[in-house]
Amino acid sequence: MILALETSTQWGSVALVHQGKVLAEEISDRQKSHSELINAMVERTLAKAGVQFSDLTLVATGFGPGSFTGIRVAGNVAKSISYTLNIPLFALDSLFLLAAQAKSQAQEHKVPVLSMINAYKNMVYYGLYNLQNDIPEALIPAAVVPVRNLEQVITQEKFLVVGDGFQTYSKYFPSGFTQKIRRPNHPQDYPLASTLGQLAETLSKKHPTLDWKSFLPLYLRASEAEENLKGILFTPLK
C-alpha cells in the first residue's frame, strides 16, 4: 500500500496506490498553498479508500527539480510518515515522472520525451527520456539551462515536449527548435502523485529504497535569495 506525494510544481497531488491501481487521489493547483493543504489532502485520500496510516507499506515522494518550497513540502511529510511508521521511502525526480506520463504517445511516435519545468528567471529544468522500453531511460539527466540555450543542449531531430516550461517559454523558442517539437494530445504538464505511486511500486522492487534520514531534494539552482545575494542576473527574453 503506497502513499505518494508530489508538490514540486504548481500542481500538488496525493495518491494511494495498491497493486498498480490508484485507489484514491487529491489534486490542488494552488502552488503557494501546498504546505497548508498537504496534510488535509493526505487525510482525505486515505479516507476515500478506507485505509489507515498503519496499512501503509511504502511512502513515495517527488524530490524535484522544481519549486524549492514545494519540494520540501512533500519531502518533509514523506520523511515524517517514513519515520513514524518505520516504513521505507522511495523518491523519483519530477522530470522523470512527467516523461512517464507521455509514454503511450512517445511509443506511438517512436520519439523521446523532453520534460521541461519552469525554473523561472528565463530558465527551465529539463531532461530527455527514452520511453520505448518498460522503464524510462534518461538520455539527458535532469539539468537546468537558460531558455536561449535550449537548442544547443537538445540536438535530437524530433521529440515530444511536456511540462509547464513549454507553456511559459514556447513563444521564445528559435524557429528551428520549434520545428522539432511534437506535443502530445491532451498533454499532462505537471507531475502527478498517481504516476509516482505506480512507478514506485514497480521500481522499488528493483531499486533500493531509503530510510527517512537519507532523503535529499534535488536542487539544480541556488535559491532566489542566494542568487540575489551573489548578484546573479538574468537576461530578458525578446
Domain ranges of the chain: 2-94+190-221, 95-182
Give the contacts of 179 (CB within 8 A, at least 6 positions apart): none
pLDDT in tens, the chain (238 residues): 999 999 999 999 999 999 999 999 999 987 678 999 999 999 999 999 999 999 999 999 999 999 989 999 999 999 999 999 999 999 999 999 999 999 999 999 999 999 999 999 899 999 999 999 877 789 999 999 999 999 999 999 999 999 999 999 999 998 889 999 999 988 999 999 999 999 999 999 888 888 888 888 888 765 554 444 444 444 556 5
Identify the pLDDT of residue 162. 97
Q: Was domain 2-94+190-221 assigned CATH 3.30.420.40?
A: yes
- Report the distance separating Cα 77 and Cα 147, nearest Å: 33
The domains spanning 2-94+190-221 and 95-182 adopt the same CATH topology: yes
Give the 3-state secondary structure of residue 129: strand
Q: If residue 126 lies in a helix (H) or strand (E), which one and from where to where?
A: strand 123-130
Set of cell numbers at residue 18: 495498491
Contact 170, 177 (CB under 8 A): no
Determine contact, residues 189/209, Cβ cutoff 8 Å.
Answer: no
Q: Cell numbers 507553456 label which residue? A: 167
Q: Supply the pLDDT for residue 228.
A: 44
Topology of domain 95-182 in CATH is Nucleotidyltransferase; domain 5 (3.30.420)
